[in-house]
Structure 1
């Protein structure tokens, strides 16, 4: 089954009810899509009360793709806010309990940074991550092209298969070492993640300031033909994987929700169990 959603629920005005408050955004969102990527967990390990609140606000079949804390994947500059690496992983694991108990954890996304290239030290670190998060559905996303270089591509995929990692397939600009090609290969028969970052090549490589680089990088609207071209790709993943979680991340200009709904229509998907939407008086 293919499940389509967005990265985050706080910046998608097309899916909110007219008089909704900030606190209602996730409830409104879950009336449109069956999954969401949780980005807040990347910036800080979330307290249990937040996780439980989000679980309680969503329908029983709803799933979260939880992005791993930045200190765990090497994004964070400087010191981590924990006494040890082990404590950091343990705190993150404990934060997931409400989602695990409610069966709402679709995957933990270990997205490694563009400077995390293919070498033994980094392979060993991925093994370490698994040892600390053993038993959880772990998706790996690379952002350095070397993992898919001709001499490493099959070894990378075999490693993910052997370790039962979920492959995070990406559609993104092809812009040198800091981007990866589209490699629609399943490495875990239960789950595959597909993230669409847009195809804004100029924005991907442009150096914005710390406050707006994300807006620059993910500013892109997929054309209908581009989405149609991806339909057989998703159908192929669906044949080899029980769950395919598709996440649109091209929201700088508010395009993600529109493109996600277009893809739902192109695939002929009809999700049951979404949150009820408010109905107008007339």
Structure 2
């Protein structure tokens, strides 16, 4: 595949823009980071929306701070995916979805919404009641591009695997493919199957098996995503991505292994492996460009 085609069909970015100090000049203010980030990467996963739904005005501000061609993958609010434990600050589920829609539609109108990512929790197994929830979600999010990521392996076990993928195709879900530790039913296998002809998401969570099972422990969020992909692992993913592009027009790739400052470095390594132009960064790259061979 030629470089021009790769540049058109693959977009690589990070989860969030605030936690990657190596990509900013020293002393960069928080309010200036998106403008700098979006000059260096073409896409970002907006993960703060998982914790609180951004106001439409805040979305407009982010639209104005980023280039016209920049894209956002917006993570669905935790109350919409069943993560929230305790009170949800909305009178009913439909109101919650509507408030989220009003915010996401600002990005849609600006041509910057790539997808709304619904990542469901480890206790969201393959059951009829959960299938009904997915159908209702599709209905309430009609008109918006939506992506689906599971955290319970029952969706991809045995014959259920093909049924899940077909369900996603029939219902219009973009597949968010995971690279994550394989540590029991609370993780999903790497299923290299697009469900949309237009686009596929790949999210790199790292392979820290012990950290993946650290929920409830102090600083568990930092431990879970503490992992640096090595050259061989990224070279394997180069081949996987090229294979995915045989069945989908575009791949959006997000590095979520943020804890140790590895996400940005790994993103640049993968870009280099794919022969993509690298963005200018403050200071020399901390990785060895000659690690990769075709």
Q: What's the TM-score once normalised by structure 2's chain length?
A: 0.90
Deviation (angstroms), 1:239: 2.3
Instruction: Work out the CA distance in 1 between the residues paired with 2:271 and 2:47.
Output: 23
Runs of 4+ more than 2 Å apart? 206-209, 276-279
Residue 112, structure 1, aligned to residue 112, structure 2: no
Instruction: Work out the CA distance in 2 between the residues paired with 1:243 and 1:108.
Output: 16
State the partner residue of 1:67: 75
Query: What is the root-mean-square deviation of aligned Cα atoms in Å?
Result: 1.6
1:140-219, aligned counterparts within 5 Å?
140-209=148-217, 212-219=219-226
State the partner residue of 2:54: 46
Query: Residue 90 of structure 1: which of 90, 93, 98 is its match?
Result: 98
State the partner residue of 1:242: 249
State the partner residue of 1:16: 24
Deviation (angstroms), 1:96: 1.2
Q: What secondary structure does 2:245 align onto?
A: helix
State the partner residue of 1:233: 240
Q: How many residues align?
A: 275
Q: Give the structure, 1 or 2, with the largest relative contact order (CA under 8 Å, sep 6 or more).
A: 1
1:189-229 per-residue CA deviation (whole Å, 9 max, x = no partner) reads: 111110000000011112443x6111010000000111001
Instruction: Work out the CA distance in 1 between the residues paired with 2:206 and 2:282.
Output: 31
Q: What secondary structure does 1:82 align onto?
A: coil
8 Å Cα contact 1:39/1:66 also seen in 2: yes
| Consecutive unaligned residues in structure 2, runs of 5 or more | 1-8, 284-294
8 Å Cα contact 2:228/2:262 also seen in 1: yes
| Consecutive unaligned residues in structure 1, runs of 5 or more | none
Instruction: Work out the CA distance in 2 between the residues paired with 1:125 and 1:97.
Output: 22
Q: What secondary structure does 1:178 align onto?
A: coil
Instruction: Work out the CA distance in 2 between the residues paired with 1:195 and 1:67.
Output: 12
8 Å Cα contact 1:197/1:248 also seen in 2: yes
Q: CA 1:278/1:222 → structure 2, altered by over 3 Å: closer, same or farther?
A: closer
Deviation (angstroms), 1:17: 2.1
8 Å Cα contact 2:200/2:250 also seen in 1: yes
Q: What secondary structure does 1:77 align onto?
A: coil
Instruction: Work out the CA distance in 2 between the residues paired with 1:208 and 1:11.
Output: 22
Instruction: Work out the CA distance in 1 between the residues paired with 2:53 and 2:27.
Output: 31
Q: What secondary structure does 2:185 align onto?
A: helix
Instruction: Work out the CA distance in 2 between the residues paired with 1:208 and 1:73.
Output: 19
8 Å Cα contact 2:208/2:225 also seen in 1: yes
